[in-house]
Amino acid sequence: MDDLRQKYLGAIAEAGDEGALESVRLAALGKKGEISLKMRELGGMSPEERQTAGPALNALKDELTSALAAKKAALADAALNERLAAEWLDVTLPGRTRRQGTIHPVSQVTEEVTAIFADMGFAVAEGPQIETDWYNFDALNIPGHHPARAEMDTFYMHRAEGDNRPPHVLRTHTSPVQIRYMEKHGAPCRIIAPGRVYRADYDQTHTPMFHQVEGLAIDRDISMANLKWVLEEFFSAYFGTKVKTRFRASHFPFTEPSAEVDIQCSWQDGTVKVGEGNDWLEVLGSGMVHPKVLRAGGIDPDQWQGFAFGMGIDRIAMLKYGIPDLRAFFDSDLRWLRHYGFRALEVPSIHAGA
């Protein structure tokens, strides 16, 4: 009995994990375990023998059972301690900071422009960047043979072979939104339409994708005088200083008469300042909406008239924020974005520039 006791207590003490411990239990107390077999032998003993061997076996069984349980608990404790040591977490460490992003100057300026025109009663309209040639050209009085089509360096979409319909285009200006808006809402109307436009052109002042904002105001008696007032009001609010404008006679197929508009500026050591000096910078095209364009939009030119303009958003962003190269706008260089970008929630207001 003592030998058995020594043997199994030793084995329990040595068991290194739950698996080994279970093997010891089976060897001693399992159905065919050594102790269990011994207990079965009790039946064949004389009553005197049984009286001493019985209680001794039972005591041994109890002792081993509690030794097994104690060892099992000790092993679980050890495993837990090991995990706690391995998965240790220092909750006093400072958090991992994530850098805040910035608002791109184009987004910022679009918001500023929208806020200023909203104050003058202009709603925002949008149109698709992939246009039909009808909206981008024909409806704007630019027929198929017109040189303006060639001048625009248009990107044409692919058509399946044998499909002879004219291809869709990446819109070359925001002017097609004029037609779409007139068709849908009729007159009177007062909208701006900011968005992306595309032309196959690339140098320091041109990128194949850039941004324009279209303006359109139609009513019974809208005139060039209203156009001039609205634009001067806009530029003064946008640049935060009184800005003079200069209208130069020009030509667009979709306006008659047409004018290109310059804003007053000065050049000093290679930097421009808007709103002072004797120089002029061209910033937009404009004019009175051509009767054919009104008609294409479903509006009766004998009843209604209005002005339209198209302005480069990237251009006026460069001017206001002193950004030298247009191409950098679309390079996604983080250093540039952090330098020229705006903090989120730097909410534009019409007074922000002052």
**Which residues here bind ligand PHE, judged by CB under 6 A?**
173, 175, 252, 255, 285-287, 308-310
Least CB distance to ligand PHE at residue 245 (A): 15
C-alpha 191/C-alpha 289 separation (Å) is 14
User: Which of helix, strand or coil describes residue 68?
Assistant: helix
H or E element: which one contains 85?
Answer: helix 47-86
DSSP bridge pairs for 192: 124, 215
The CB-nearest residue to ligand PHE is 310
The token pair at 230 is 């609205």
Of 102 and 172, the one with the shorter C-beta distance to ligand PHE is 172
Least CB distance to ligand PHE at residue 115 (A): 21
Least CB distance to ligand PHE at residue 194 (A): 13
C-alpha separations of 264 from 228, 253, 267, 348 in Å? 14, 27, 10, 24
Of 254 and 340, the one with the shorter C-beta distance to ligand PHE is 254
Of 108 and 286, the one with the shorter C-beta distance to ligand PHE is 286
Of 175 and 264, the one with the shorter C-beta distance to ligand PHE is 175
Least CB distance to ligand PHE at residue 111 (A): 21
C-alpha 274/C-alpha 326 separation (Å) is 18
DSSP state string for 303-324: T-EEEEEEEEHHHHHHHHHT--
C-alpha 178/C-alpha 181 separation (Å) is 5
Single-letter amino acid code for the residue at 43: G
Of 252 and 329, the one with the shorter C-beta distance to ligand PHE is 252
Of 30 and 257, the one with the shorter C-beta distance to ligand PHE is 257
Of 103 and 316, the one with the shorter C-beta distance to ligand PHE is 316
Least CB distance to ligand PHE at residue 281 (A): 15
Least CB distance to ligand PHE at residue 160 (A): 30
Least CB distance to ligand PHE at residue 219 (A): 17
Least CB distance to ligand PHE at residue 204 (A): 19
CA atoms within 13 A on the CB side of 333: 10
Q: Which residues contact 314 (CB under 8 A, 6 or more apart)?
A: 106, 207, 210, 211, 326, 329
C-alpha 235/C-alpha 117 separation (Å) is 11
Of 71 and 315, the one with the shorter C-beta distance to ligand PHE is 315
User: Which of helix, strand or coil describes residue 280?
Assistant: strand
